Amino acid sequence: ACRALVDELEWEISQVDPRKTIQMGSFRINPDGSQSVVEVPYARSEAHLTELLERICEKMKEYGEKVDPGTQRKSYVRIFSQDGTKMDLSGVKVDGDVAASLKFACESIAEEYEDELLELLSHETDNVKDRLCSKRTDLCDHALHIPHDEL
């Protein structure tokens, strides 16, 4: 669930026009008549990331559960591609209970680790999934030992 959450957040961030900015800072006027306002890229701004966290878990409806035949370990995979390409859904279980439990887990993670998510995603850092889901939280400690497939 943690890895799916980070994948969805990173996808949404990548879809924002990189030229779009937002004004941050104090809107008070200083004694000299100036303002302490700066423009920052919108995609990784706290305002945008907070907005994403409030609605991102709805995307968990687009996931199914896949069980590795060798290890019996469950993972979650998209059942609808983000770019319209055909998906291989062999061995993927799609049902409302899976989506509901994944959405609940997503919401719990987003709420409990909101500060960490905002910190990691506000800067363009590599391996946010590993850093958040395995190193900072131990939610996916097994994931450090398995290859990662991209969405």
Helices 114-122, 2-14: crossing angle, 10 deg rounding: 40
Q: Tell me whether residue 146 is in a domain.
A: no
- Locate all alpha helices (DSSP H) within the chain, ordered by sequence: 2-14, 46-55, 96-112, 114-122, 128-129
**Residue 147 within any structural domain of the chain:** no
- How many CA atoms within 13 Å lie on the side-chain side of 122? 12
Give yes or no for residue 26 having a pLDDT over 60: yes
The predicted structure's pLDDT at residue 145: 47
How is residue 77 written in tokens? 């995979």
Q: Is residue 149 part of a domain?
A: no
Give the count of domains, the chain: 1
Residue 150 included in any domain: no
Residue 127 sits at φ, ψ, to 5 deg, of: 55, 50
* Domain assignment of residue 45, yes or no: yes
* pLDDT grade for 142, boundaries at 50, 70 and 90: low
Q: What is the pLDDT of residues 123-136, one digit of tens each?
A: 777 788 888 888 77
pLDDT (tens digit per residue) in 71-90 = 888 888 888 887 777 777 77
Looking at the domain assignment, is residue 143 inside a domain? no
12 found inside a domain: yes
Residue 38, domain member (yes or no): yes
CB burial of residue 119 (10 Å; 0-12, 13-18, 19+): middle
Range of the domain at 114: 1-133
**pLDDT the model gives residue 75:** 82
